[in-house]
Structure 1
Amino acid sequence: MTNPTRTILVIGATGNQGGGLVGHLLTSKDWHVRGLTRSPQSEKAQALAARGVEVVAGDMDDVASINAAMEGAYGVFSVQGQAAEDDPMHEARQGIAVADAAVRAGVSHLVYTASCGAKEPDRGVPYWDAKIEVIKHIRELDIPYTILRPVSFAENYLYDREGIANGVIRGMLTPDKTLQVISGHDIGAYAAAAFNNPDTYAGQEIDIAAETVTMNDIAAALGRVVGHGVRYEQIPEEDWPRVSVPSGVAMTRWYQQYGYDEDIPALKAKWGIPTLTFEEWLSAIGWR
């Protein structure tokens, strides 16, 4: 790269995906990492600051704060959390606001992470529909962009620490239904590659996955890492509305009927990004 220490603004730097990217960027002296957070005094934000991240306060609902955070930035990593059930398009408004701010700021590369489910509208999952709106908007902007569409997050399967400690995890999918997962660490690896290789990644929309597993596989991997047996138990379908919000139920039904089927060997061959299996990722983060 010709300009050392260019700035990357990482939105959601204290989260799984943003944090994954921060970790990869900090391994290079080419980048100055600026992390946007609503709570710069939080423990996670202060931990980032201790690692050399410039932590700035900002809120995606506050355009002025986004504009200020992007000042002088070469690149922007954009990710939004799932919005409330009664206003799923809040996420779309945030993602669009970030993209528009990047254009105003003259940002050279926008990397946006959506979801592998956000390819076809009207799947009954408003969370995905919101991301589709952001993608459609970004495509129309005059800015180099890369869109990453990850499959299910590996972090989602650590939701029940008490259950894991007691040797059982419960979920809505059938035990042998295949699903695909990827960690925030590996999403961050793809995002870092995009910033490091803009000529290769600009204009690309990439569906990304690291491993194909079943819920039984996830339980077994958890058991090996924690050192005792863990089994998977399916929640009866009639109980799904009791344990999940409507969008979560709709998403699970889509996973159960269709699911993701990304060609992981082809992904690795084309992009050359090393990724971790679920069990490797658990060990790498020291999860117990």
Structure 2
Amino acid sequence: MTIAVTTPTGHVGSRVVRLLLQAGVRPRVLVRDPARLDDETRARVDVRQGDLTDAEFVRRAVAGARTVFWVDPTPHTTADPVDTSLRTAAPLIEAARTGEVRRVVLLSSIGAEKRRGAGHIDALAGIEERLDTTGADVLHLRCAYFFTNLLFDLDGIAEGVLTTAFDPDRPMPWADPRDIGDVVAARLLNDAWRGRVVQAVHGPEDLTFRQVARILTTALGRPVRVDHVSDDTARDTLRAAGLPPSAIEGMVGMTAGTRDLKPEQPRDLLTTTPTSLGGWAHAHLRPLLEK
């Protein structure tokens, strides 16, 4: 069994690699900088060093791998993020089409089911559609809003403000990336599924941003309130940071396009994961703020 893992040092990928190793599998990891792997992990994996935006590297690195876990590496701040994501995934899709890769587990997102109109998430929708035509077995994991997205607003939270353009009173799924990694690893190790499969990862419960602020207040031991901003205010902030217009619309579109979305997959036994936001914030966010 050859399993290739992209972004093996990320929040999800690092968990996947750890679990595969504990299951007795030596994964093939596609990584730009092997030094970012800890020494023990680096000694136990098959390292393929290169850039996922290099099509020839991706073709060589996935060749002969029965299963590939694909995480789109495109930063939201990239110019033309949707086009960049689709071009980056093209070598994987071709490998699946030619039979070099027989199974793909894609880290997708809630909102991909819309297919159009959700900013950078549209790229994941496009990758889903292209993989579906290859004849390979494909699993699209449509994941909730990551707990770790809060790390991007660390300075604001330190000042007691959680800023969002989402409707602060509308519940939405939130998930711990480690729990997502657990689901990914289980699927990678299971040879029984076939065809096209879609599975959501919704986390333990749907939360509004106001509920999130109250949870953070308790977990962090400091008051946190919500600051709701408009899409235009979000655009102005991103523009002031020097982002190109296509990146701005890709980021704002993810919020605007999913604001009223009801996920295609319901919350049930298969889509619910255990880690609470309060427990995660106390273990991971609080130590960062206390520094």
TM tier, shorter chain? 0.7 to 0.9
Matching residue of 1:140 = 133
State the SS of the aligned residue for 2:212: helix
Q: Which amino acid aligns with 1:275?
A: P
Matching residue of 1:58 = 50
Question: How is 1:212-231 mapped onto 2 (pairs within 5 angstroms)?
Answer: 212-231=206-225
Task: Give the distance between the partners of 2:232 and 2:125, measured in 1 at CA.
Answer: 30
Q: Which amino acid aligns with 1:131?
A: L
Cα offset for 1:191? 1.3
Q: Find the partner of 1:257 among 260, 277, 280.
A: 260
Cα offset for 1:204? 1.0
Cα offset for 1:287? 5.2
Range with bigger deviation, 184-193 or 19-28:
19-28
Task: Give the distance between the partners of 1:74 and 1:57, measured in 2 at CA.
Answer: 19
Question: How is 1:162-241 mapped onto 2 (pairs within 5 angstroms)?
Answer: 162-200=155-193, 202-210=195-203, 211-241=205-235
State the SS of the aligned residue for 1:169: strand
Cα offset for 1:212? 0.4
Gap regions ≥5 residues in structure 1: 1-5
Q: Deviations over 1:209-257 (max 9, x none)?
A: 1120011222222233322222222224541211242222222223333
Task: Give the distance between the partners of 1:201 and 1:189, measured in 2 at CA.
Answer: 20
State the SS of the aligned residue for 2:112: coil
Gap regions ≥5 residues in structure 2: 239-247
Q: Deviations over 1:72-125 (max 9, x none)?
A: 5332100113452435211012123223235557334211122221112332x3
Q: Deviations over 1:20-43 (max 9, x none)?
A: 3223323312x11222122223xx
Q: How many residues align?
A: 275
CA RMSD of aligned residues (A): 2.7
Cα offset for 1:164? 1.9
Cα offset for 1:173? 2.2
Cα offset for 1:67? 3.1
The answer to whether residue 89 in structure 2 is matched with residue 95 in structure 1 is yes
Task: Give the distance between the partners of 2:282 and 2:93, measured in 1 at CA.
Answer: 35
Q: Which amino acid aligns with 1:25?
A: L
Matching residue of 1:246 = 249
Contact 1:240 1:249 in 2 (8 A): yes
Q: Deviations over 1:244-284 (max 9, x none)?
A: 422222222233333547532x2x2xx38743222233345
Task: Give the distance between the partners of 1:220 and 1:253, measured in 2 at CA.
Answer: 24
Cα offset for 1:184? 1.8
Task: Give the distance between the partners of 1:90 and 1:133, measured in 2 at CA.
Answer: 12
Q: Which amino acid aligns with 1:207?
A: A
Q: Find the partner of 1:158 among 151, 155, 174.
A: 151
Q: Which amino acid aligns with 1:66?
A: V
State the SS of the aligned residue for 2:52: coil
Contact 2:59 2:91 in 1 (8 A): no
Task: Give the distance between the partners of 2:42 and 2:15, measured in 1 at CA.
Answer: 16
Contact 2:146 2:174 in 1 (8 A): yes
Measured at CA, do residues 144 and 238 of structure 1 come closer, stay the same or move farther in structure 2, by a change above 3 Å?
closer
State the SS of the aligned residue for 1:88: helix
Identical aligned residues as a percent? 24
Q: Which amino acid aligns with 1:7?
A: T
Q: Find the partner of 1:69 among 61, 75, 81.
A: 61
